[in-house]
Structure 1
Amino acid sequence: MDLPKLAIAALGGTVSMQARNAGEGVIPTVSGEALLASVPQLTTLARVTVETLGLLPSASLNFGCLLSVLSWAKYQVEQGAVGVVITQGTDTLEEAAVFFDYLWDCDEPLVLTGAMRSAKQAGADGPANVLDACRVALAENSRRRGVQVVMNGQIHQARCVRKTDSLALQAFSSPIFGPAGLLVENHVGYLCPSVPHSVLPLPQHTTHKVALLEASLSADTLLLENILKLGYDGLVIAGFGAEHVSESWAAMIEVIAGKIPVIIATRTGSGSTAQHSYGFAGSELDLIRKGALMAGFLCPRKARILLWLLLGCQRQDELARYLNDNSRLQP
């Protein structure tokens, strides 16, 4: 029987970490090849190609690195891979996933996974997550679903998933919408049908900058006053509640929105921004009148990535359409 071809890229992260000496903190040292050796069942499922593209904690990844990984992943599909799996650290897993999702135009699955426990820690979850991710990437019913995150036996859509716990095994969830699917006794099952979605072209330039600021009680406006002087090309605000800010912040946002795109998202971790509920100074109605756009269900971090990508391909005029596109958020 001719087994399907599966490609795996290792970028580092906790799934690749162990301590060199007793009592020291763990660091990325385990290559993709060594990680693959911890999952011998894979040899019965697929012909596996594995490459170690980096050994970094995920906080040190950047957009340039992710564009290189994306190019590698698309090449693997061109070479006959029926699915691609990427292992990386969980700190920026949700951001990397949505970055890829906006650019992944292949029918073949692209699946991200990682670990909450290091390679040598008792009960390490890395091998199980890698095996689950590979099963998802190989499953026929995973095609045309864009990019997904597989952790702890659950499958999450890239645009919904968030890391909601710092250390727990069940660190990943999709607030409001729940997981897109589950692995039950090695079977890949989905809770909702696949939904067609549009993707963006690759960015033509990558040197632009998008700032992310969080509103907080009694915060001053010094950073806002200097956003334009510092050369930022876009701004995302993590606002209170349904995306509210103080009156002083609202005044500065009006000035900034006249020059660069400004998105207001909610800092709460769950739920959507409002559109026409509140009318006070600094409310969503006031901010919309001042030129800001509401992020909807996109969290501030993912809204920043969307804006960066749109600016990079000079399609920032389509920002409102992408923010209002909830097709991937409807089970």
Structure 2
Amino acid sequence: MDLPKLSIAALGGTVSMQASNAGEGVIPSVSGEALLSSIPELTTLAGVTVETLGLLPSASLDFEFLLNVLSWAEFQVKQGAVGVVITQGTDTLEEAAVFLDYLWPYDTPLVLTGAMRSAAQPGADGPANLLDACRVALAHNSQQRGVQVVMNGQIHQAGSVRKTDSLALQAFSSPVVGPAGLLLEDRVRYLRPPGQRTVLPLPQQTTQKVALLEASLSADTLLLENILALDYDGLVIGGFGAGHISQRWATTIEHIAKRIPVIIATRTGSGSTARASYGFGGGEMDLIRKGASMAGFLCPRKARILLWLLLGCQRQHALAQYLNEDI
């Protein structure tokens, strides 16, 4: 019987890390081929193609590199892959996932995974996460779900998943909505049907710059006042609570929003920004009047990615449409 075709790309990250010498920190050094050898069971499930596209800590990934990864993944689908899996570091896993999800036009599953323990540690979670990710990518009920993240036996949607712990094995969660599915007895079980997705065109330009700042108690306005002079094309602010900033920041934002798009998100880690609750200077109603857009459930980091992509395909005028979508 012919096995389905599955394509795997390794980008680096903790899942690929080990130390060269005792006492030294771990670095990315384990290739995708070596990772695959740790899960021989996979060869009974699919005909696997694996490529090492990079050995990088995920903090060093960038948009240009991810566009190349996207091109590679699209080629695999055109060559007949029924699922695509990417392994990378967890530090930027949620951001890479949503970046790819906004640009992934296929029903074919694209699944990202990684590890919280290095390949050299006892109880390394990389092999189990990779096998789970492959099962998800091969499952028929994973179709039409866009990009998903598989970690620790859970399946998360790209738009909602966040890394919520720095070192714990259970580092990923989806605030408010919870995981989209689970791996139970090697079976892929979804908890809800696929939702409607937004797919953007590939960016026509990649030189646009979007700043991300976080509101904090008694923060000065020096960086804000220089955003335009520094030639930024967009600005995202992780605001207090439901999307609030100080009166001083709000006064500066009014001038910035006349020139470039400004998004206010919440820095809390969970929940949505408000739209019509708080009327004080720096509250969401005041900021909307000053020309800013509220991010809704989109976290600051993902709001920055959305704005970068919209600027790249010249759709920034439709920003409100994309921010008003349900979680």
Question: Normalising to structure 1: TM-score of the pair?
Answer: 0.98
Q: Which residue of 1 aligns with 2:118?
A: 118
Q: Tell me the secondary structure at the aligned position of residue 68 of structure 2.
A: helix
Q: Distance in 2 between matches of 1:289 and 1:27?
A: 48
Runs (4+) of structure 1 exceeding 3 A deviation are none
C-alpha separation in 1, matches of 2:65 and 2:197? 24
Cα distance between partner residues in 1 of 2:75 and 2:278: 49
Match of 2:137 in 1: 137
Partner of 1:300: 300
**Counterpart in the other structure of 1:51:** 51
- Between the aligned partners of 1:28 and 1:113, the Cα distance in structure 2 is 15
Identity %: 80
Matching of residue 244 in structure 1 with residue 217 in structure 2: no
Residue 270 (structure 1) shift: 0.2
Q: Give the whole-Å Cα distance in 2 for the aligned partners of 1:52 and 1:158.
A: 23
Unaligned ranges ≥5, structure 1: none
Aligned equivalents of 2:303 and 2:51: distance in 1?
A: 30
Q: Report SS of the residue matched to 1:232.
A: coil
Partner of 1:258: 258
Aligned-residue offset at 1:195: 1.6
Alpha-carbon distance in 2 for matches of 1:142, 1:90: 22
Q: TM-score, normalised by structure 2?
A: 1.00
SS at match of 1:302: helix
Deviation of 1:96 (Å): 0.1
Aligned partner of 2:17: which letter? M
Letter matched to residue 201 of structure 1: P
Q: Deviations over 1:116-157 (max 9, x none)?
A: 000010110000000000000000000000000000000000
> SS state of the match for residue 102, structure 1?
helix
Q: What secondary structure is seen at the aligned counterpart in 1 of 2:103? A: coil
Write the letter of the residue equivalent to 2:164.
Answer: T
CA distance in 1: counterparts of 2:194 and 2:286, whole angstroms: 37
SS state at 2:105 partner:
coil
Q: What RMSD over aligned residues (CA atoms) do the two structures have, in Å?
A: 0.4
1:259-300, Cα deviation, whole Å (9 max, x unpaired): 000000000000000000000000000000000000000000
Cross-structure match for 2:183: 183
AA aligned opposite 1:262:
V
Q: CA deviation at 1:196?
A: 2.6
1:321 and 1:156 map into 2 onto residues whose CA distance is 24
C-alpha displacement of 1:235 = 0.1
1:241 is matched by which residue type in structure 2? G
Structure 2 letter corresponding to 1:57: P
Take 1:312 and 1:95, find their aligned partners in 2: how far apart are those partners? Answer: 17
Give the whole-Å Cα distance in 2 for the aligned partners of 1:137 and 1:315: 31
Where in structure 2 are the equivalents of 1:308-327 lying within 5 Å?
A: 308-326=308-326
- The separation in 2 between residues aligned to 1:114 and 1:246, in whole angstroms, is 38
Letter in 1 for 2:255: V
Structure 2: runs of 5+ lacking an equivalent: none
Q: Deviations over 1:173-221 (max 9, x none)?
A: 0001000000000000000001232300000000010000000000000
Between 188-197 and 290-299, the greater mean CA deviation after superposition: 188-197
Q: How does 1:13-32 map to 2 (within 5 A)?
A: 13-32=13-32
What is the aligned residue count?
Answer: 327
- Within 2, Cα distance between the matches of 1:144 and 1:78? 16
Give 1:309 deviation, angstroms.
0.1
Q: Give 1:108's aligned residue.
A: 108
Residue of structure 1 in register with 2:270 after alignment:
270
Distance 2:91 2:107 in 1: 27
Q: Which residue of 2 aligns with 1:37?
A: 37
